[in-house]
């Protein structure tokens, strides 16, 4: 239910104050706080270019916190280890199956730890690669080849993986070998040229738009 309310809130301007999104603060030693300018820049881009009304202040939540249910969109990033306690895994599972959404952006090095951690949340589910024709790549901005490559890292192709609930709703997106978050950061941080940063922001806007429509 809160997803439907949030969509009206964001895209129709039905309320006077803005919806807020959140960054996930997780345990295990990984740098959950990486890319501090990325989400504020993405929010500003979305509010300007796809006419959302997202609060410019980004919240911080932990996987086990009851306030996680206040945020229809949660972002997670980092380079290293990820650990969810049993209580955190249960709470995160309930959040996602109740209409929430988690976008995980591998900032290079997170993947093996993340896959293990996600098994504590959804032991019965496997990450599935999204095909290039998935609607998330074809919102306001069109990406006919699927997830764009922002930073080279290992030089392999960018991939987008998802977890789905039993009704087929995409509840989690894992962007890998892409590093959207680096592309969202201030230009001075990575010195990415404008076309690269714009490509990353457009893909981020597609994710936001897709999430609040589903």
Pick one of 3.40.50.12140, 3.30.1460.30, 2.60.40.10, 3.90.550.10 as the CATH number of 2-213.
Answer: 3.40.50.12140
How far apart CA 183 and CA 192 sit, in angstroms, is 7
Q: Residue ranges per domain, the chain?
A: 2-213
Q: Which two three-digit tokens encode residue 179?
A: 């590093």
Rounded to the nearest integer, the mean pLDDT of the chain is 91
CA 210 to chain centre: 11
pLDDT at 75 over 80: yes
Q: Pairing mode, if any, of strands 102-106 and 74-78?
A: parallel
Q: Which two three-digit tokens encode residue 86?
A: 């049993």
How far apart CA 192 and CA 6 sit, in angstroms, is 32
pLDDT tens for each residue of 86-114: 999 999 999 999 999 999 999 989 999 99
pLDDT tens for each residue of 1-56: 444 434 333 333 333 346 899 999 999 999 999 999 999 999 999 999 999 999 99
Residue 5 has a pLDDT of 37
What value does the mean pLDDT take over residues 183-193? Answer: 90
Give the CA angle between residues 63, 159, 213 to the nearest 5°: 60
Residue 18 has a pLDDT of 62
How far apart CA 47 and CA 183 sit, in angstroms, is 17
Residue 10 has a pLDDT of 39
- Please state whether the predicted TM-score (pTM) of the whole model is above 0.95: no
Residue 174 in contact with residue 127, Cβ under 8 Å?
yes
């Amino acid at each position: 239910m809160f997803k439907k309310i949030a969509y009206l809130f964001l895209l129709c301007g039905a309320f006077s104050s803005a919806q807020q999104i959140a960054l996930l603060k997780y345990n295990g030693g990984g740098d959950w706080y990486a890319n501090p300018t990325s989400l504020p820049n993405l929010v500003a881009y979305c509010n300007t270019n796809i006419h959302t009304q997202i609060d410019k202040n980004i919240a911080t939540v932990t996987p086990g916190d009851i306030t996680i249910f206040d945020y229809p969109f949660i972002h997670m990033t980092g380079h290293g280890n990820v650990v969810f306690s049993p209580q955190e895994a249960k709470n995160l599972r309930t959040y996602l199956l109740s209409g929430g959404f988690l976008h995980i952006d591998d900032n290079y090095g997170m993947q093996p730890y993340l896959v293990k951690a996600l098994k504590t949340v959804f032991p019965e589910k496997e990450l599935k690669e999204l095909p290039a024709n998935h609607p998330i790549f074809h919102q306001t901005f069109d990406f006919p080849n699927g997830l764009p490559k922002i930073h080279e890292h290992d030089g392999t192709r960018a991939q987008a993986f998802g977890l789905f609930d039993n009704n087929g709703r995409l509840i989690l997106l894992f962007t890998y070998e892409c590093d959207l978050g680096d592309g969202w950061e201030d230009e001075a941080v990575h010195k990415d040229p404008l076309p690269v940063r714009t490509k990353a922001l457009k893909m981020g806007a597609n994710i936001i738009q897709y999430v609040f429509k589903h």
